[in-house]
Amino acid sequence: MGPEDLKGKKRILVDGLATQEDCDMLLDLAQASALINTSTLFWGRFVDSPTNRNTPLKQTAKLVQKGVITVESADRFLTLTEKARQFVHRYFRLGPELYVQFTHLVCRTAEPYSSDQRIDLSHTVHSDNCKLNYDDWTCEPYEPHLGPLHARHYSSVIFLNDGFKGGKFFFSNRNLTAEATVQPKCGRVVAFSSGPENPHGVQAVVEGRRCVIAVWFTLDKTHDELRRHEARKVVDSLWKSGGHQSKAEL
């Protein structure tokens, strides 16, 4: 599905970035993270909405060693998000290097007694690198305490599952209704430029649980996600110590 179908120039949707095995393993990883009451996963974050638990997960290696998170699932997480980076870099023909700015694994679970009649949003219409004013559609910088959101140049959402109701991703027009809608399914990815030209949101999940990996990218090396590289070193070291080989090395 290209720009015409998605109603915008810098938008693309493709299937097959992840296999069903990849998705199943990452869903298990999300479940394991939820069971230990954490929302920070590796270098980025894991959030299980609507509870929005935000407990730091500081020692990835210990969690892998304890068997809470497997080395293979951590490796697949890193490998899949790297595939997303390469795809975005290639598709949008970005001359300079593209860096991962932030990685976010999020699962949204339907609230009790939700119905198909819900019209509220699970994630309100927004832009990824500036704060939209819905009255005149101007876009102001986010507050500094929220982090370097201004450095986000491209965004991607990797869908890990279907089998739930609601939870569709959509690009919005100026009256805050969907002009293009994306149905989640394993391995599907939607990518787009992060500015006000691509306002987007998520419909309410009314039944089941929806999980995605959101990855934001930057052209500014100073905002490269350094903890991501640290996580790769940890995972590769654990692979080798166990006699395994990382998928990134195959």
pLDDT for 42: 41
When pLDDT is cut at 50, 70 and 90, the band that residue 246 belongs to is very low
Question: Catalytic residue at 85?
Answer: no
DSSP H helices, the chain, are 3-6, 20-35, 60-65, 71-91, 226-241
- How far is residue 26's CA from residue 29's CA, in Å, rounded to a whole number? 5
Q: Please, which residues bridge with residue 211 across strands?
A: 107
pLDDT for residue 223 is more than 80: yes
Classified as helix, coil or strand, 31 is helix
Catalytic residue among 209, 210, 228, 232: 210
- Work out the percent of the chain whose per-residue pLDDT is above 90: 48
pLDDT at 227 over 60: yes
Average pLDDT, the chain: 83
Residue 224 has pLDDT above 80, yes or no: yes
82 has a pLDDT exceeding 90: yes
pLDDT at residue 47 tops 50: no
pLDDT, tens only, 107-144:
888 877 776 777 778 889 999 999 999 999 999 998 88
The whole-model pTM stands at: 0.87
Residue 193 to residue 217: CA distance in whole angstroms: 9
d(CA 185, CA 162): 5
Share of the chain above pLDDT 70, in %: 82
The structural domain count of the chain equals 1
Q: How confident is the model at residue 39 (pLDDT cuts 50, 70, 90)?
A: very low
Q: Model confidence over 162-221: pLDDT tens digits?
A: 999 999 999 999 999 999 999 999 999 999 999 999 999 999 898 899 999 999 999 999
Query: Given this model, what pLDDT does residue 43 score?
Result: 40
Of 156-160, 225-229, 230-234, highest mean pLDDT: 156-160
Question: 168: closest CA among 151, 181, 154?
Answer: 181
> Residue 160: its pLDDT value, please?
96
The CATH number covering residue 236 comes to: 2.60.120.620
For position 35, what pLDDT does the model report? 57
Angle at 230 between CA 227 and CA 234, to 5 degrees: 135
Residue 125: give the domain boundaries: 3-249
Nearest to 126 by CA among 107, 159, 152: 152
